[in-house]
Structure 1
Amino acid sequence: MTVYSTFGIAEESPARTVYFAGSGNAALDQHLIQLLRGELEPATSVTEVSDDQLSTLDNGPIITVGPSAFSRVRQANRSAPILAMLVDRPFISGFAGRSPGQITAVLYDVPLIRQALTGKAILPQATKIALLATADSVELYEPLIDELPAYGMSARIFLVESNDNLISTLVRALGYGDFLLAAPDSAIYNPRTIKHILLTAYRRNQIVIGPTQAYVKAGSLASSYGPFPEMVEMAGDFLATFFETGQFPPPAYPQEFRVDVNAQVARSLNIPLPSREDIATRVDRQLTIKGEASDE
């Protein structure tokens, strides 16, 4: 005679569906789906949806990958709960602020203070940071400028008024700072300009930190970044909260960051380069010490 555990049956998770609106990059989308399926409970399915299905989704939350996917979903279905991935804070903050609990994100950009400390971990003597900005992006740097003195650093913004004076402004910035800190500002740092920015810095024996892991491969010396498994783990926590309460937590950064470096650039500039793990540990220690001090 077989005895079934009524407790075990009662404890089974209810069947749930999470919809997935991808970036269009098949390899990236499938990698994220695989990570999500490994993170979520077995009873929670991850279902890819096409654009023509978006307007009909009225129950399950939708994960979007990248700004374009988020915009498509938001335009097609204003009532859908959305968890955005691979978007930065400047892009998503307005949407999340207007629809708290309905729209959230696991933020893809890296806090600029963390990027600044990544540069200082490589150049401990650094005290001055150069920043390039347009009139529209100056505000990106204001919180950073307020935070830096606590870490023995300061920054100056060099305003790029047009594409024509990008390089001349860059040259002035490189003459001021111990390194150039790049933010996710697509008006300045984009595929059309990055080669010229990096070559100009290299020829003047100056380094660029950030803005993303992809730019390290192009010739930036280093960048912190949020690893995909950590971002997916946070997405799983956000979804669990949503299923429990019907509301998403506010957008947030992952708890763990790693560092990518370009060792060839370091050798060419004769810069001693700590290990990636050592850089990340130094940055975490600085942020922890400052956080503990501010709590006292």
Structure 2
Amino acid sequence: MPARRSWTSPGPFLTALLLGLVCLFALPAQARDILLVSTEQSAALQDFAEALARRRPHDQVRLESPENLPPAARLDSETRLLLLGSGALNWRLASHNAPPALTLLVSRVEARQVLGEREPPHLSLLWSDPPPARQLQLALQLSPRPQRIGVLVGPSSEFLLEELQRTAERLGIELVSELQTRAEDSRPLRELLGRSDLLLGLDDKQLYNAQTIKGILLSAYAQNRALIGPTAAFVKAGSLASTYSDQSDWLETLDTLLDEPAEQWPRSLSPERFKVQSNRQVARSLGIDLQGDAELAQRLAEGEKP
């Protein structure tokens, strides 16, 4: 009778093959060159670059000014470009056939001012301003619930009304708007406050800035109207509340995108993760019942799930 062959242990060839596969899968992912480009070199941006480097230890992460770089078209096509601000965006747009890029620290209004209605290929815009639909949903969490939401727009932000109107119709609320073309003209704001229950601010720096916010808030509160947004930076000044994404939220989003093929990057997006910041003193003075910030963020996130 022939001897029975035992399969309890692999032969030398199979052992070597298995060891090779184990070593292959144990190797770190291919290192990438991640280039952050900014016309500003602030401590905050340096901290952001260092945080991204810590999150991706196998990649080479560096922060550079356009002045120290060749034209974008001369960069290696495998470079992962992160454009920080409109100055870096303009540098990238000056070159054709440059590597794909993710653009941060640019709002919808700023992008419109730079790009117009163009949609350059291989350019993804990660919006710095809160999604208008998310801000509208935040307004609807207030008690009493507003029925008419007013939006003040300028020539640079008027294009956002179409998206806001679609969202308002879906949510079953009335959206009213006024166009302000001159900074010194207070009539559009007065008329808007008289026709609405709450004011929704847009990140249009010609309308909402350090010089105008005090007058807007005084006019709104004189008629017992709250202001949502335009960004979390205005909450301390007297805005009621806003959604926002902090550095950890952005790093989470970038970490995912940087591992994807550039051709799969979306045309535009906002981080899925976000937080809510509110002004409790303003809520009390206006007689508004406001849930905790964490609870508000959780309810809004649940509402955005498909």
Q: Distance in 2 between matches of 1:196 and 1:146?
A: 30
Are 1:121 and 2:144 matched, yes or no? no
Amino acid corresponding to residue 187 of structure 1 in structure 2: Q
Q: CA deviation at 1:124?
A: 4.2
Q: CA deviation at 1:24?
A: 2.3
Superposed, 1:86-105 pairs within 5 Å as 86-92=105-111, 94=115, 98-100=119-121, 102-105=122-125
Provide structure 1 residue ranges, at least 5 long, that are not aligned to the other structure. 292-296
Is the contact made by 1:74 and 1:80 (CA closer than 8 Å) also made in structure 2? no
Q: Which residue of 1 aligns with 2:249?
A: 230
Are 1:281 and 2:302 matched, yes or no? no
How many equivalent pairs are there?
Answer: 282
Q: Which residue of 1 aligns with 2:171?
A: 151
Amino acid corresponding to residue 279 of structure 1 in structure 2: L
Among candidates 202, 206, 210, match of residue 183 of structure 1 = 202
Q: CA deviation at 1:114?
A: 1.1
Q: Under a length normalisation based on structure 1, what TM-score does the superposition of the two structures give?
A: 0.84
Computing the radius of gyration from Cα coordinates, the structure with the larger value is 2
Superposed, 1:31-110 pairs within 5 Å as 31-40=47-56, 42-55=57-70, 58-59=75-76, 60-75=79-94, 79-92=98-111, 94=115, 98-100=119-121, 102-110=122-130
Q: CA deviation at 1:205?
A: 1.8
Q: Distance in 1 between matches of 2:256 and 2:304?
A: 24
When residues 178 and 76 of structure 1 are mapped into structure 2, their CA distance, relative to the original with a 3 A threshold, is same
Is the contact made by 1:21 and 1:62 (CA closer than 8 Å) also made in structure 2? yes
**Is the deviation greater in 193-202 or in 51-60?**
51-60
When residues 211 and 281 of structure 1 are mapped into structure 2, their CA distance, relative to the original with a 3 A threshold, is same
Q: Distance in 2 between matches of 1:246 and 1:112?
A: 27
Amino acid corresponding to residue 252 of structure 1 in structure 2: L
Is the contact made by 2:32 and 2:80 (CA closer than 8 Å) also made in structure 1? no
Are 1:24 and 2:40 matched, yes or no? yes
Amino acid corresponding to residue 274 of structure 1 in structure 2: Q
Q: Which residue of 2 aligns with 1:263?
A: 280
Amino acid corresponding to residue 291 of structure 2 in structure 1: P
Q: CA deviation at 1:192?
A: 2.1
Among candidates 181, 195, 204, match of residue 214 of structure 2 = 195
Q: CA deviation at 1:136?
A: 4.1
**Is the deviation greater in 64-73 or in 186-195?**
64-73
When residues 15 and 114 of structure 1 are mapped into structure 2, their CA distance, relative to the original with a 3 A threshold, is closer
Is the contact made by 1:198 and 1:219 (CA closer than 8 Å) also made in structure 2? yes
Q: Among the aligned pairs, what percent are the same residue?
A: 28
Structure 2 counterpart SS, 1:122: coil
Higher relative contact order (CA 8 A, sep 6+): 1
Which deviations, in whole Å up to 9, do the C-alpha atoms of 1:34-66 show, x marking residues without a partner? 3312332x2201112232332255111221222
Amino acid corresponding to residue 172 of structure 2 in structure 1: G
Among candidates 122, 132, 157, match of residue 152 of structure 2 = 132
| More helix per residue | 1
Structure 2 counterpart SS, 1:241: coil
Q: Distance in 1 between matches of 2:221 and 2:173?
A: 23
Are 1:15 and 2:31 matched, yes or no? yes
Is the contact made by 1:159 and 1:169 (CA closer than 8 Å) also made in structure 2? yes
When residues 25 and 141 of structure 1 are mapped into structure 2, their CA distance, relative to the original with a 3 A threshold, is farther
Amino acid corresponding to residue 230 of structure 2 in structure 1: P
State the superposition RMSD in angstroms.
Answer: 2.7
**Is the deviation greater in 72-81 or in 103-112?**
72-81
When residues 181 and 44 of structure 1 are mapped into structure 2, their CA distance, relative to the original with a 3 A threshold, is same
Q: Distance in 1 between matches of 2:169 and 2:202?
A: 19
Which deviations, in whole Å up to 9, do the C-alpha atoms of 1:209-259 show, x marking residues without a partner? 0110101121111001123212222112222124xx566432211112211
Amino acid corresponding to residue 38 of structure 2 in structure 1: G
Q: Distance in 2 between matches of 1:186 and 1:80?
A: 30
Is the contact made by 1:106 and 1:251 (CA closer than 8 Å) also made in structure 2? yes
Q: CA deviation at 1:168?
A: 2.2
Q: Which residue of 2 aligns with 1:220?
A: 239
